[in-house]
Amino acid sequence: QNVSRPSHSTNHIAPRSMEQLLESDGGSNGTCFFTLAGAKTGSFPHVDVPKDNECPPEIKGTPDDFLAIHGNKWASDQLKNKVKKCPNCGKVNAFTLSSCNSCGFSLENVDVSYPNNVFAGFVYGIQKGPFPFTISIRHQVRVIF
């Protein structure tokens, strides 16, 4: 069963059952399109996004700037991923793979590269990499951080 999202929405469609959605293409290939939205207020835990309590990044600059000052093997192992990027399709693969897990292209002669670990950048409070390291924070008070 394939469930896909349309690239754009044209009209509001009344909710239907999964069976009705799957039958919507005449049963030819089991593909349907729908969007999940409109959660009822009070159905899920919710914390308002604070607008006036933003914290600037603790570390100005990039992971490389941080490593130049505080670098050691431990920090480098955390802030950098060890990968092989497929030259055929561009997929980032584990450095231990001998062929791309997307297109099957041989990675035997591909050098290992070390791109930023974005999640570790969040943990260290680093400002940016090739793009700003920002994350939506739902609730933040000095007592917690």
State the average pLDDT over residues 107-117: 96
| Alpha carbon separation from 23 to 15, 39, 83, 115 (Å, rounded) | 14, 25, 43, 45
Largest CA distance in the chain: 63
pLDDT above 90 (res 71): no
Can you give the pLDDT at residue 111? 97
Give dist(CA 145, CA 133) in Å, integer.
18
Give dist(CA 58, CA 142) in Å, integer.
14
pLDDT above 70 (res 118): yes
Dihedral sign computed on CA atoms, order 20, 22, 26, 31: positive
pLDDT above 60 (res 10): no
* 15-24, 35-44, 125-134: least confidently modelled range: 15-24
Residue 117, SS3?
coil
Residues 89, 103: contact at Cβ < 8 Å? yes
State the average pLDDT over residues 43-68: 77
Those residues whose C-beta lies under 8 Å from the C-beta of residue 4, and which sit 6 or more positions away, are 31, 32, 33
Task: Write down the pTM of the prediction.
Answer: 0.55
Can you give the pLDDT at residue 6? 45
